[in-house]
Structure 1
Amino acid sequence: MTEEDARAQVGGVLAAFAQGRPGDAKLLLHPYLHWTTPSGDTVRGRANVLALLSELAATDAALPEPESVELRDGQIYRWLSA
C-alpha cells in the first residue's frame, strides 16, 4: 500500500464522520485497529474506536488528523494522532 492509499483511507474515515455516516468508516478500519489519541492514550479494536469517534462527533469535536497511519489488508490498522 502506498502513502496515497493511506491518505485516501484517512480521508474516507474523516468524511464518513463529517457526513454523519459512521457505518461507512467501519469498512475502512481493521478489526484489530490501534488508535492513539493526541493525549497518548491507545484505544484498541474497531468497535472501541468507532465508539470513541462517535462520542467525539456527537460533541462536534474535530476528529484528530493522524501523524502516521499503517494499513493492513487495505484497512487502517494503526492511527497515531498528531
Structure 2
Amino acid sequence: MTCPVCRKEPLTLVSWVYGEELKHAAGSARTADELARMSNLYEEFTVYVVEVCRTCSWNHLVQSYVLGTRGLKTQKPRRRTAAE
C-alpha cells in the first residue's frame, strides 16, 4: 500500500517491542526471527506492528499482540501413589 499522506512510496511494516522484562531492548524494532527467539526467552512482552512511510515518517498502528512464555512453564507436577 502506498503512503496515504505523501503518496511517494510503499509503507513498511515495523514491529516494536515493549515490556518491563525487556529492559534496554524495550522500545526497539525487531524482525520476525528476533520475535520468535524473544518469545522463548521472556515471560511476556507486547509487540506493536506499525506501518511506516520512510519518506514523510507517517505511521499508523496496525496490530498489537502479546508474546512470551507466561503460563507455559507452570505444569503441575505429576502425583505419585504410595506404591511408587
Alignment TM class, shorter chain as reference: under 0.3
Higher relative contact order (CA 8 A, sep 6+): 1
Q: What TM-score, normalized by structure 1, do the two folds share?
A: 0.28
Identify the structure with the greater helix proportion: 1
Task: Choose 1 or 2 for highest CA Rg.
Answer: 2
Q: What TM-score, normalized by structure 2, do the two folds share?
A: 0.28
